[in-house]
Chains A and B, each alone.
Chain A
Amino acid sequence: MALEIIELCTNCWACEPLCPSKAIYEAKPHFMIDPDKCNECSGDFEDSQCASICPIEGAILNADGEPMNPPGSLTNIPLQKLAA
């Protein structure tokens, strides 16, 4: 059970200091989550901290590989406009 940061990450540093398990680390080309350390914040916070501050839709995936913040969920930009 771990979250994953993918290539959409813009390296903004917002998530790194929030992680209660210190699972997030700076890497090239983008930040990474150590799957052995990440527990999705269970026991520490109600919501996963990285996914709660990440500004980029789709940059963080859950254990099933689905985006924690799907397209349009953070910016409210209608999907057909995002695709264009």
Chain B
Amino acid sequence: MQLPVLNSAANEAPKSGCSAGSCGSTDDQMNHLPEHIRQKVFNHPCYSEEAHHYFARMHVAVAPACNIQCNYCNRKYDCANESRPGVVSELHHPVQAVKKVLAVAATIPQMTVLGIAGPGDPLANPERTFETFRMLSEQAPDIKLCVSTNGLSLPEQVEELSKYNIDHVTITINCVDPDVGAQIYPWIFWKNKRIKGREAAEILIAQQQKGLEMLVAKGILVKVNSVMIPGVNDKHLEEVSKIVKAKGAFLHNVMPLISEAEHGTFYGLTGQRGPTNEELQALQDACEGDMNMMRHCRQCRADAVGLLGEDRGSEFTMDKVEQMEINYPEAMKMRAEVHAAINEELESKRLAKESKVQLVSIQGVQKKEVTRPVLMAVATKGGGVINEHFGHAGEFLIYEASSDGVRFIGHRKTTPYCEGDISCGDGESVLDKTLKVLAGCEAVLCSKVGYEPWGPLEAAGIQPNGEHAMEPIEDAVLKVYEEMRIAGKLEAKLDEQQKVA
């Protein structure tokens, strides 16, 4: 079959004007990447806070088997209502999975990336994983493929991996010290035996590091995921970050441990807590000196479909997919047009931002006053502007403004204020929860804030602000920061902090 030639412009990344590194605004990890890597990942929603508003990803659950046990995972779990890694509602055979991918790609043209992430370990299911990749490489060459793994069988699979359209591999590396590893992994299956304790961790770590080196040598991009487990590997992850960067990983994603007791995991049942937002951010900041950190991971399910943070999986259950008639070569033409239009929009946004950055840096020469950094929360539905009501926000993006500019720090989830005003367990009101989630922020920028939450927000030291609706996020954050500077709010607190310190 002759496939239509894709519009090559659709596959080309908008040129980066600031590939040399920092450009005032540091909200986007991609700006720090070398140009050749940026070209590969610019339309990957998982790698950029900006791209994820435009491009979508999906996971197919073809890989149920696993060759290790992690203390944050419960292999019995299978739930339709929960959003977290390792959870799926239906398992697919490769032929079904490919059908589903083509259906989603034809319906959601923004879908650029297909990942296999479980619910077990994709490389512990090599036949099913590679059969899926093989068919997709042939039938849908416009879809990027990626895979995540615990790394145990990675070295023996690198050769096979390099045959497909796979340019991103994610390895979950939680430690490089077997004594730490023994507290995270109770067992591995290795050379026809179940191995436990420190010995198991030692083998796993050696395989992960070897796999990382082999992938880098092959020119395949490697992202490293780490789960931050307070008291177990939190201090240790800085060292992990240094080592994986030195070996050539291009991005490090430190994620918080999820350990609700009802998930039935070892950590959940033994009361191991996850990190607070502040602890997570402090660790990400500490690692950032060493490498590119990922800040917007939403820790999605192993069968998620759609934009990050949304899941349209229920529209594409297998019974629905079987009813759909997909002409993929036709769909591919439409997809190429959609991608080209998105790239055009991203490019014009980038140019606008660049000219602004130059302006800021010219002005910056004149005033060299150093002011303290301030965290602000932003309610947005996407598109890089402030366009969400306070009461409708299910998550807030956190930005840090300082005399160096504005940078994206991460996102924090909550329950929308307007959705349930009674309580959400333990007598804690929804607003109380949001106040807790926004701890450390001094302002919250939204398109509108109601009268009721206004007082409590102010009382908690978080200034509600609805004056910048529809404005670009960074511009608004900078304006509010400037207002705070003029009001003398940026020095006063520094003294207090110094006193405390």
**Interface 9-residue window, one of B63-71, B211-219, B327-335:** B63-71
Q: Which chain A residues lie closer than 8 Å to B69 at the CB level?
A: 55, 74-75
| Contact among B64, B78, B125, B187 with A74 in the assembled complex (CB-CB below 8 Å) | B187
- Whether the Cβ atoms of A12 and B193 lie closer than 8 Å is no
Question: For window 31-77 of chain A, which residues contact chain B by CB distance below 8 Å?
Answer: 45-47, 49, 52-53, 55-56, 74-77
Contact A75 B193, CB 8 Å, known A11-B91, A14-B66, A14-B120:
no
Q: Which of A12, A49, A81 contacts B192 (CB 8 A)?
A: A49
A10 cross-chain contacts in B, Cβ below 8 A: 64, 75-76, 78
B266 to chain A: which residues have CB within 8 Å?
A: 75-77
**Pick from B64, B76, B128, B189: contact of A53, CB under 8 Å:** B189
A57 and chain B: residue at smallest CB distance: B76
Residues of B within 8 A of A (CB-CB), count: 24
Distance of A28 Cα from B343 Cα, bound (Å): 48
* List of A residues within 8 angstroms of B78 by Cβ: 10
Q: Which residues of B contact A18 (CB under 8 A)?
A: 192
- Decide if A53 touches B67 in the complex (CB within 8 Å): yes
Which residues of B lie under 8 Å from residue A45 when comparing CB positions?
A: 192
A25 at the interface (CB under 8 A from B): no
CB distance from B110 to the nearest CB of A (A): 32
CB pair A52 B189 closer than 8 Å: yes
Contact partner, A77, options B75, B194, B270, Cβ 8 Å: B270
Q: Which of A12, A49, A52 makes the CB contact (< 8 A) with B120?
A: A12
Q: What chain A residues lie within 8 Å of B67 (beta carbons)?
A: 14, 53
At the interface, is chain A mostly helix, strand, loop or mixed?
A: loop
A77-B124 contact, Cβ under 8 Å, with A12-B66, A45-B192, A53-B189:
no
- Judge whether A1 is part of the interface by a CB distance below 8 angstroms: no
| Nearest CB in chain A: distance from B229 CB, A | 15
Which of B91, B189, B269 has a CB less than 8 Å from the CB of A81? B269
B186 touches A75 (CB 8 A): yes
Q: A13-B65, A56-B76 are in contact. Are A78 and B192 (CB under 8 A)?
A: no
Q: Is A82 an interface residue (CB 8 A)?
A: yes
Are B64 and A12 in contact, with the CB atoms below 8 A? yes
* Nearest-Cβ distance from residue B89 to partner chain A, whole angstroms: 13
Complex-state Cα separation, A11 to B91, whole angstroms: 10
Q: Contact partner of B193 among A52, A55, A81, CB < 8 A?
A: A52
Chain B 245-283: CB-based contact to A (< 8 A → 1; otherwise 0): 000000000000000000000100110000000000000
Instruction: Chain A residues near B269: list those with CB within 8 A.
Output: 77-78, 81-82, 84
CA distance A41 to B354 in the complex (A): 66
Q: Which chain A residues lie closer than 8 Å to B71 at the CB level? A: 75-76
A12 touches B189 (CB 8 A): no
- CB-nearest residue of chain A relative to B192? A45
A75 to B185, CA, bound (A): 9
Q: What A residues does B193 contact at CB under 8 A? A: 46-47, 52
| CB of A79 to closest CB in B, whole Å | 11
Report the nearest A residue to B64, measured CB to CB. Answer: A12
List chain A residues, Cβ under 8 A from B186.
Answer: 74-76
With A75-B186, A81-B269, A81-B270 as contacts: A55 and B75 at CB distance below 8 Å: yes
Whole-angstrom distance between the Cβ of A21 and the nearest chain B Cβ: 14
* B125: chain A residues within 8 A (beta carbon): 13
**Given A55-B69, A77-B269, A13–B64 Cβ distance below 8 Å?**
yes
Q: Could you tell me the distance between the alpha carbons of A24 and B75 in the complex, rounded to whole angstroms?
A: 20
Q: How far does the alpha carbon of A65 sit from the alpha carbon of B39 in the complex, in Å?
A: 58
Q: How far is the CB of A11 from chain B (nearest CB, A)?
A: 7
Alpha-carbon gap, A14 to B69, bound state (A): 13
Question: Could you tell me the distance between the alpha carbons of A11 and B351 in the complex, rounded to whole angstroms?
Answer: 52
**Within the assembled complex, what's the spacing in Å between the Cα atoms of A46 and B195?**
13
Report B199 CB to chain A, min CB distance, Å.
15
C-alpha spacing A47/B196, complex, angstroms: 14
Q: Which B residues lie within 8 Å of A46 (CB)? A: 192-193
CA distance A74 to B67 in the complex (A): 13
Q: Give CA–CA (A56, B78) in the complex, Å.
A: 14
Which residues of chain A have C-beta atoms less than 8 A from B120's C-beta?
12, 14
Give the complex CA separation of A77 and B69 in angstroms: 12
Question: Is B194 a contact of A47 with CB atoms below 8 Å?
Answer: yes
Min CB–CB distance B99 → chain A (angstroms): 20
CA distance A55 to B67 in the complex (A): 9
Beyond known contacts A49-B192, A74-B69: 18 more, CB 8 A cutoff: A10-B76, A10-B78, A12-B66, A12-B75, A14-B120, A14-B124, A46-B193, A52-B192, A53-B189, A53-B194, A55-B75, A75-B69, A75-B266, A76-B71, A76-B266, A77-B266, A77-B269, A78-B269
Q: Pull 18 A–B residue pairs with CB atoms less than 8 Å apart, ordered by A.
A: A10-B75, A10-B78, A11-B91, A12-B75, A13-B125, A13-B128, A46-B192, A47-B192, A52-B192, A53-B194, A55-B75, A56-B75, A74-B186, A75-B69, A76-B186, A77-B270, A78-B270, A82-B269
Query: Which 7 pairs from chain A and chain B are nearest by CB?
Result: A14-B65, A55-B75, A12-B64, A52-B194, A81-B269, A53-B189, A13-B65
